[in-house]
Amino acid sequence: MSYLRWLARTRRHPSALLLLVQLAGMLLYPFVEDTDAARYGLTIFGIVVLAATTAMVRRTPGLTWVSICIGLPAIVLLALQALLRLPQLAPWCSALEAVFYFYAAGSLIAYMMADYRATTDELFAAGATFTLIAWAFAHLYMLLQALQPGCFAAAVNPADPRSWTELVYLSFALLSSTGIGDVIPITPHARALASVEMFVGVMYLAAVVSRLIGLTLRERERR
């Protein structure tokens, strides 16, 4: 009975489940970053949950089949990379995952902007979308680092490639406009991409989050 009740709440607020899985993944990833099988397994699980959760948001036409068409090749490449130990597939995996997360973020933004009423699930979607955009840019940083080694530096081991955790930290810092941390883009292409993320973060807060806050306040005034 409790399981059915939990399932009903999940269907009512799918964005809350998505946000919870994303936050849990960010906290768990540092523990498994040095283990290939666990790292790829966690990434594949996140993609599957994202595809399944966004499929519940039925206000975006074509979301399910497009997500599958983008996410399935990413899962296949991740599995091949883990099983056959093919590090040369990493840039292609990052490229596909970046496209996948950007599409999912765009779909959720369309879902939030579709009406003039801010629901509870849309408020959860605002947080989930923010993390999706941050992950998408982190994958672009991974791709750029593979194509242009040494484009990011840090205080510790500045010549080494930056890890996924470091690039996610950089992405969240830039997207939220809270600073840049100890990971620094040092090539023109890396700085250009970082500048784009800062612009996207400001526009997301100004156009999407502020709109949801305004709709929420207007709904409270009506009550």
* Per-residue tens of pLDDT for the chain, all 223 residues: 454 454 455 566 777 877 888 888 888 888 877 776 666 776 777 677 666 656 655 555 556 777 778 878 888 887 777 777 777 888 888 898 899 889 888 888 888 888 788 788 888 889 989 999 999 999 999 999 999 999 999 877 777 889 888 999 999 999 998 877 788 999 999 999 999 999 999 999 999 988 888 888 777 767 6
Q: Give the three-class secondary structure for 153.
A: strand
Share of the chain above pLDDT 70, in %: 83
Residue 62: its pLDDT value, please? 54
Residue 6: its pLDDT value, please? 46
- C-alpha dihedral sign at 178, 184, 187, 136: negative
The Cα 118–Cα 213 span in angstroms is: 8
Residue 7: its pLDDT value, please? 45
The Cα 129–Cα 143 span in angstroms is: 21
Q: Rounded to two decimals, what is the model's pTM?
A: 0.87
Residue 11: its pLDDT value, please? 60
Average pLDDT, the chain: 81
